[in-house]
């Protein structure tokens, strides 16, 4: 939303906690970024590890020239 003296931005980032989202404003650019880490371990009935997966995902969104 744009008004005379400010912007209001709403972002939906499924699977990422609110505290893990980073906002920065430099020049006329608003940057929204986040990193998601996930791990999964599958074990057999005796507790032995069968598989382990680790993944990392990054998002970056920029709104440029907000004041022009």
Q: Write a three-state SS string for 29-50.
A: EEEEEEEEEEEEEEECCCCCEE
Asked: is 1-68 a CATH 1.10.3470 domain? The reply is no
Question: For residue 4, is pLDDT > 90?
Answer: no
Q: Name residue 56's beta-bridge partners.
A: 37
Give the pLDDT confidence score for residue 2 in this predicted structure: 56
Please measure the distance between the N-terminal and C-terminal CA atoms of the chain and give it in whole angstroms: 16
Indicate the pTM of the whole model.
Answer: 0.65
What ranges do the domains of the chain cover? 1-68
Q: Give CA–CA dist 9/33, Å, rounded.
A: 14
Give the pLDDT confidence score for residue 7 in this predicted structure: 76
Q: Under DSSP, is residue 16 helix (H, G, I), strand (E, B) or coil?
A: coil
Question: For residue 41, is pLDDT > 60?
Answer: yes
Which segment of 7-11, 16-20, 39-43 scores lowest on mean pLDDT?
7-11
Q: What is the mean predicted confidence (pLDDT) over 26-47? A: 92
Give the pLDDT confidence score for residue 1 in this predicted structure: 54
């Amino acid at each position: 939303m744009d008004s005379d003296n400010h912007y209001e931005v709403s972002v939906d980032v499924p699977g990422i906690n609110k505290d893990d989202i980073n906002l920065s404003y430099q020049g006329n650019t608003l940057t929204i970024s986040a990193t998601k880490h996930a791990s999964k371990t599958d074990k057999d009935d005796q507790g032995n590890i069968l598989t382990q997966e680790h993944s990392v995902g990054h998002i970056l969104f920029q709104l440029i020239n907000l004041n022009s």
